[in-house]
Homo-oligomer: A and B are copies of this chain.
Amino acid sequence: MSEVLFQSRGKVLTVDTMNPAVKKVEYAVRGPIVIRAVELEKELKQGVKKPFTEVIKANIGDAHALGQRPITFLRQVIALCAYPDLLNDNKFPEDAKERARRILQACGGGSIGAYSASQGIECVRQDVAQYIERRDGGIPSDPNNIYLSTGASDAIVTLLKLLVSGEGRSRTGVLIPIPQYPLYSAALSELGAVQVNYYLDEENCWALDVQELRRAVTAARQHCQPKVLCIINPGNPTGQVQSRKCIEDVIRFAAEEKLFLMADEVYQDNIYVQGCQFHSFKKVLYEMGPEYCNTVELASFHSTSKCYMGECGFRGGYMEVINLDPQVKLQLTKLVSVRLCPPVPGQVLLDVITNPPREGEPSYEQFIKEKTAVLNNLAEKAQLTEEIFNTVPGIKCNPVQGAMYSFPRIEIPDKAMKEAQAKGQSPDMFYCMKLLEEMGICLVPGSGFGQREGTHHFRMTILPPTEKLRILLNKLKEFHERFTREYS
């Protein structure tokens, strides 16, 4: 009898009983296209014949996976910290040893296996603060305002978690750009916050227009309480770099409308186009004077995963908070303490990034050479991408001014639109799936980031090695032309 009882017994946890907020979460960067790409890789390994010999994953900004070499100095310091016996090895340069010794001294028991303070190791936060001061031309940064994190995503979600409250019409609204990096929409779904879209101006190189912000906030006030404004600069997936004027306008707008500013600045070193320059929100805020820099609440985010480092696997990052209410800061510190501490190897990496070899130190030249080579190569690939895409009728690509992605607009013929609809797919998902099956190229459909109704895009990272990127772009060209013919 009991066997029957147990066989008929349903699961406790099903899609019907689970947390409905989690069910709503979407994250296209690792969605169905990527799952299919991994399957295809396995089929290829098993000898299944395909119209391609390898799958190129250009769906994600994963520099090392696409062949970028780690920066030697960073890895030397990590190895020394992980296995301090190497401090006696004369193959390691003295400046790497000096960094490692300093970090180990700050670790409990001299081991990176000890928990750190929940906010992050104090000397690392000091180095981060000094890095920010150098970056921002001497504007002061307080180590007590720095929170180290498990990549930037972790810090962004943590801060949103603090900010979201209320029910119904007083529920917190969070303004995010469209197109956006889908961490934002995913986190807002999970937290049950109201996502308020503001559209970037594709015709104007994906610029942010304050009029559009105003439209979005005004509309949102009808049904929620907009409290937070998220900015991604340089843009992901859109690759634009914001002008100083634009940042000033945004800050003024945030002050007027009482919005908490969240500035995602993880691509701050990835600037490729002459005339473009990275301006941190913090710096502009301070330069606008006390009226702004003493009042506007700002959190800015950085990461070890992007720029010239590309150390995604270490999950290192930080946020700097400005004008955060002291009581809220205590709450933030309490909240991060529940997870004990961010991964210490990621903290070590962040330390070395913010305290790199100085002129005159033994590793300086090699470090600068490696760093410059990565950034120059990225600039070259940014240009190559724009150039080749814009030779294809039906593809229109804005300049990749910064970050690591192009987000070209694609024309999809009516016949293809209908076929997609019949399959229950968005037109750009249909396009990308076909591209994957026919060419072995894995991209993310624009619908995963958001786009204006009736337009279609995909995101492609520019990270593959130059020659491979050229092949990739030409294959894409070939595919798009064939696709257009097939469905015209």
Q: Which A residues form the contact surface with B (CB < 8 A)?
A: 2-3, 6-7, 9, 11-15, 17-20, 22-23, 25-27, 29-31, 38, 60, 62-70, 75-76, 78-79, 82-83, 86, 89, 91, 107-109, 111-118, 150-151, 153-154, 157, 161-165, 182-183, 186-187, 190, 227-228, 255, 258-260, 291-292, 294-295, 297, 309-315, 323-325, 327-328, 331, 334-335, 337-346
Contact present for B66 and A109 (CB under 8 Å) = yes
Q: Count this chain's copies in the assembly.
A: 2
Given A108-B62, A115-B62, A310-B113, CB of A164 within 8 Å of CB of B297:
no
Q: Tell me the smallest distance from the CB of A444 to a CB of chain B, in Å.
A: 12
Residues of chain B within 8 A of A315, CB atoms compared: 150, 340-344
Complex: chain B residue closest to A327, CB-CB: B15
Given A18-B331, A165-B19, CB of A70 within 8 Å of CB of B324:
no
Q: Tell me the smallest distance from the CB of A165 to a CB of chain B, in Å.
A: 5
Residues of chain B within 8 A of A67, CB atoms compared: 109
Complex: chain B residue closest to A297, CB-CB: B12
Residues of chain B within 8 A of A323, CB atoms compared: 11
Residues of chain B within 8 A of A186, CB atoms compared: 338
Given A79-B83, A113-B312, A114-B65, CB of A19 within 8 Å of CB of B162:
yes
Report the separation of the CA atoms of residues A334 and B21 in the bound assembly, to the nearest whole angstrom: 13
Report the separation of the CA atoms of residues A154 and B311 in the bound assembly, to the nearest whole angstrom: 21
Q: Tell me the smallest distance from the CB of A8 to a CB of chain B, in Å.
A: 10
Contact present for B83 and A343 (CB under 8 Å) = no
Complex: chain B residue closest to A312, CB-CB: B115
Report the separation of the CA atoms of residues A144 and B246 in the bound assembly, to the nearest whole angstrom: 48
Partner of A325, one of B13, B69, B115, B151: B13
Report the separation of the CA atoms of residues A331 and B294 in the bound assembly, to the nearest whole angstrom: 43
Given A12-B227, A20-B165, A67-B109, CB of A27 within 8 Å of CB of B338:
yes
Report the separation of the CA atoms of residues A404 and B91 in the bound assembly, to the nearest whole angstrom: 40
Residues of chain B within 8 A of A157, CB atoms compared: 339
Residues of chain B within 8 A of A227, CB atoms compared: 12-13, 17
Q: Tell me the smallest distance from the CB of A290 to a CB of chain B, in Å.
A: 8
Q: Tell me the smallest distance from the CB of A329 to a CB of chain B, in Å.
A: 10
Q: Give 30 pairs: A residue, B residue, CB < 8 Å, sorted on A.
A: A6-B255, A7-B295, A11-B328, A12-B258, A12-B297, A13-B328, A15-B325, A19-B165, A23-B331, A25-B338, A27-B334, A30-B118, A31-B337, A38-B117, A62-B115, A64-B113, A64-B114, A65-B114, A66-B109, A67-B109, A78-B83, A79-B79, A79-B82, A79-B83, A82-B82, A114-B312, A150-B339, A186-B338, A313-B343, A315-B342
Report the separation of the CA atoms of residues A75 and B100 in the bound assembly, to the nearest whole angstrom: 15
Report the separation of the CA atoms of residues A380 and B228 in the bound assembly, to the nearest whole angstrom: 54
